[in-house]
């Protein structure tokens, strides 16, 4: 088990769903901050952020369901054990790519940072905040990025089950840091999407594809049961 995670949470029953529920709690703080600002630009930015976060959580949950089907358990520790021979990102690489793009949208990073559209919304839902509250918003945003990248490492890049706990922790933190560097590289490389393109990507492309792959991962093992054993 990686060392930075508290011991009771590392092998908690339904731990994967607990992490997903934690990531969805950001919706309430964003909506509350936009409404409390008493500014129409902040409110529009907050509504954009909430719609974007809720939309991409659907695909995240379906991709997570596929990973759970392959590991056979809801605990994070069991996902580690499943990936001892091979990372899950290799056999289900389309889902891993969609997961990474969805985490970009979930954390409101470029090219999906429409909540902070400077030309349209004067910097989004945090336009009325300065000083301490503004710093807390960005601390929460970067903490969310680190959390999502750590979860991505545990689910798809198999945080290693080495003999020494601190070595396992270092490998997990290194993988999460590398994914965070990819986040920054994407921000420097790609322009911002339009809002309709953002929604079309999830509802017309990602959702049908993840649904099809989820049905495939459910039906394929069941169909193999009808094939007689070859002696």
pLDDT tens over the chain, length 231 residues: 455 555 666 677 888 888 888 888 888 888 888 888 888 878 887 888 888 888 898 999 999 999 998 888 888 888 888 888 888 899 999 999 999 999 998 887 777 777 666 556 566 777 777 788 888 888 888 888 898 999 899 899 886 665 666 778 888 889 999 999 998 898 888 877 888 888 899 999 999 999 999 999 989 888 888 887 776
Q: Which residues contact residue 171 at a Cβ distance below 8 angstroms, ignoring those fewer than 6 apart? A: 159, 160, 162
The sign of the torsion formed by the CA atoms of 149, 155, 157, 158 equals positive
Q: Identify the three-state secondary structure at position 12.
A: coil
- 3-class SS of residue 112: coil
Inter-residue contact 107 to 141 (CB < 8 Å): yes
What CA–CA distance (Å, rounded) separates 150 from 174?
Answer: 10
The pTM of the full predicted model, rounded to 2 decimals, is 0.85
Rg from Cα positions in the chain: 19
Q: Which two tokens stand for residue 142?
A: 């970067």
Q: Which residue has the tokens 């993988």?
A: 175
Q: Distance between CA atoms of 191 and 83, rounded to whole angstroms? A: 35
């Amino acid at each position: 088990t990686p060392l930075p995670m508290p011991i009771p949470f590392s092998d908690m029953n339904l731990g994967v769903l607990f992490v997903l529920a934690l990531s969805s709690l950001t919706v309430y703080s964003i909506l509350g901050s936009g409404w409390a600002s008493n500014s129409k630009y902040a409110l529009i930015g907050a509504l954009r952020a909430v719609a974007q976060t809720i939309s991409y959580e659907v695909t995240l949950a379906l991709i997570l369901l596929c990973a759970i089907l392959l590991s056979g358990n809801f605990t994070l520790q069991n996902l580690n054990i499943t990936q001892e021979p091979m990372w899950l990102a290799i056999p289900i690489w389309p889902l891993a790519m969609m997961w990474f793009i969805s985490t970009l949208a979930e954390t409101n990073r470029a090219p999906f940072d429409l909540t902070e559209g400077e030309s349209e919304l004067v910097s989004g839902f945090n336009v009325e905040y300065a000083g301490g509250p503004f710093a807390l918003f960005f601390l929460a945003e970067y903490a969310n990025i680190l959390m999502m990248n750590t979860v991505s490492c545990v689910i798809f890049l198999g945080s290693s089950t080495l003999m020494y706990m601190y070595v396992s922790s270092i490998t997990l933190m290194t993988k999460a840091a590398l994914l965070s560097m990819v986040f920054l590289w994407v921000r420097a490389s790609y322009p911002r999407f339009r809002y309709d393109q953002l929604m079309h990507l999830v509802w017309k492309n990602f959702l049908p594809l993840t649904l099809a792959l989820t049905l495939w991962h459910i039906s394929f093992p069941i169909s193999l049961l009808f094939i007689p054993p070859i002696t």
